[in-house]
């Protein structure tokens, strides 16, 4: 624990809250809830192929699902669920949304399912399928299936509790800056410290820390914050929410009664560097928490009680699909993940599910009041997208870009990254079970839909 002097800005925030001009009539409604989703028993871990089917050996810090339900002055609702998980895939996402829709009367566009992309969480359903396909025994597969079903129940229970807690609220937003994210494509890990000291780090980054504050009376009951960086500080065998979890824990310890919720930005090509120690995960978490505190201690923009929600799945095209002959050859490959993907795809074809030329890619937008557009993208999205989307924001509105939401189906490279190749440009596709790399036009198609949804 660092000296108390580090937290002086938060004391200023408390004084600001007491005198805030946002004390005007409350016409938002908001409810917040959280539920622990740390597996109750050892089971396989997600995130790194090298782990194979190895089980977690303990818990460093717990995993959580946290829920914010908001309702504007006209009764329009939006439900955001943040989860300390590596990813969720399409089938589980649909199942979760169907349950939430049935229990809370919400439409699909009113629901956002966000994961932090911690690489120290459990295997969840079919996410990163080729890493695990035919590699688990029956007992492990049952553990994975049971956890996914239990997770849905926990999220629904949390959402129902958030609805029960709806109260008059005020919403406000602003953004800060934290600088530990590093473009991993352009900076060798062993050179990062020297390059940073010399001001020579290369490659695009997004250091912004968007913050949404939710007040009830004079109390801060929730703070939502994002950052564009992989949750990959840690790589051992303990459950952990990585730096994002340490940031949330620190914020909640500083403000009892406030639920801190992290969402991942377009950080697919960004790493916390250096990494690999618990101390570094705690350090980055503390830096991010301080970045949020600095925002809360400054001037926040009030948000008028108007919410507009949109959701669309666009067909995102693949490059040339492999033939069945090629898949049969790949199924005998020396690379176990190439072989695993081929066997999985051949099994899907045999079950009457032929390879499709495109993937239904989810894009959403929540527009809050007159000042904020919050875009929500599926998959592991590289930083080029957030920079491009923000570059087109109107002068009167702020723009936030969430990734790793609703369906984490693959990396989403920009045209630049796709052309350059490498892991993010195509190499990672094998681990997600998609048949080939993306077609070159995917960036243009995604940005076209973002422009259509922009208010």
Q: What is the pLDDT of residue 35?
A: 98
pLDDT of residue 136: 85
Q: Can you give the pTM of this predicted structure? A: 0.93
pLDDT in tens, 245-285: 999 999 999 999 999 999 999 999 999 999 999 999 999 99
pLDDT digits (tens, 9 = 90+) for 287-317: 999 999 999 999 999 999 999 999 999 999 9
Give the pLDDT score at 17. Answer: 45
pLDDT band at 70 (very low <50, low <70, confident <90, very high): very high
- CA–CA gap between residue 366 and residue 89 (Å, rounded): 22
CB neighbour class for 194 (10 Å; exposed up to 12, middle 13-18, buried from 19): exposed
Q: Residue 10 above 50 pLDDT? A: no
Confirm if 178 and 272 have CB atoms less than 8 A apart.
no
pLDDT at 14: 45
* Pair 410, 386: CB distance under 8 Å: no
Count of residues making up the chain:
455
| C-alpha span between 22 and 168 (Å, rounded) | 13
Q: What does the pLDDT look like over 366-407, one tens digit per residue?
A: 999 999 999 999 999 999 999 999 999 998 999 999 999 999
CB 405 within 8 A of CB 376: yes
DSSP H helix total and E strand total for the chain? 13, 19
What is the predicted pLDDT for the residue at 252?
97
Task: Indicate the DSSP class of residue 49.
Answer: G
Alpha carbons within 13 angstroms on the beta-carbon side of residue 280 total: 14
Dig out the tokens for 344 from the structure.
Answer: 């999985």
Query: Mean pLDDT, to the nearest integer, of 394-422?
Result: 96
Q: Per-residue DSSP letters for 110-177?
A: GEEEEE--BSSSB--TTTTGGGTTTTS-HHHHHHHHHHHHHHHHHHHHHHHHHHHT-EEEEEEEEEEE
């Amino acid at each position: 624990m660092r000296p108390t002097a580090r937290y002086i800005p938060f004391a200023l925030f408390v004084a600001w809250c007491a005198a805030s001009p946002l004390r005007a009539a409350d016409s938002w409604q908001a409810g917040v809830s959280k539920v622990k989703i740390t597996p109750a028993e050892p089971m396989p871990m997600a995130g790194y192929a090298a782990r194979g089917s190895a089980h977690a050996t303990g818990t460093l810090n717990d995993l959580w699902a946290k829920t914010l339900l908001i309702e504007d002055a006209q009764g329009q609702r939006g439900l955001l669920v943040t989860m300390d998980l590596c990813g969720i895939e399409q089938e589980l996402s649909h199942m979760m949304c169907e349950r939430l829709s049935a229990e809370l009367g919400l439409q699909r566009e009113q629901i956002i399912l966000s994961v932090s992309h911690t690489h120290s969480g459990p295997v969840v359903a079919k996410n990163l399928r080729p890493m695990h396909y035919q590699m688990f025994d029956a007992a492990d597969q049952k553990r994975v299936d049971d956890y996914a079903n239990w997770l849905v129940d926990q999220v629904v229970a949390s959402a129902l509790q958030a609805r029960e807690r709806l109260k008059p609220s005020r919403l406000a937003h602003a953004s800060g800056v934290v600088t530990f994210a590093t473009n991993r494509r352009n900076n060798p890990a062993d050179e990062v410290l020297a390059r940073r000291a010399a001001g020579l780090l290369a490659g695009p980054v997004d250091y912004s820390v968007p913050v949404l504050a939710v007040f009830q009376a004079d109390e801060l009951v929730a703070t939502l914050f994002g950052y564009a960086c992989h949750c990959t500080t840690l790589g051992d065998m303990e459950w952990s929410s990585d730096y994002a979890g340490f940031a949330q824990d620190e914020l909640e310890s500083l403000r009892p009664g406030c639920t801190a919720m992290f969402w991942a930005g377009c950080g697919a090509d960004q790493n916390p560097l250096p990494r690999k120690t618990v101390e570094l995960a705690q350090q980055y978490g503390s830096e991010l928490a301080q970045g949020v505190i600095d925002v809360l201690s400054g001037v926040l923009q009030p948000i008028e009680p108007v919410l507009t929600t949109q959701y669309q799945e666009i067909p995102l095209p693949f490059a040339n699909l492999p033939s069945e002959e090629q898949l049969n050859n790949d199924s005998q490959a020396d690379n176990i993940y190439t072989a695993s993907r081929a066997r999985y795809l051949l099994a899907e074809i045999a079950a009457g599910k032929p390879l499709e030329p495109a993937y239904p890619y989810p894009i959403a937008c929540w527009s809050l009041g007159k000042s904020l557009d919050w875009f929500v993208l599926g998959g592991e999205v590289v930083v080029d997208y957030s920079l491009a989307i923000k570059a087109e924001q109107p002068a009167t509105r702020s723009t936030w870009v969430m990734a790793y939401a609703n369906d984490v189906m693959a990396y989403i490279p920009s045209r630049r990254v796709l052309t350059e190749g490498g892991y993010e440009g195509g190499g990672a596709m094998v681990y997600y079970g998609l048949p080939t790399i993306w077609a070159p036009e995917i960036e243009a198609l995604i940005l076209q839909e973002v422009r259509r949804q922009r208010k």
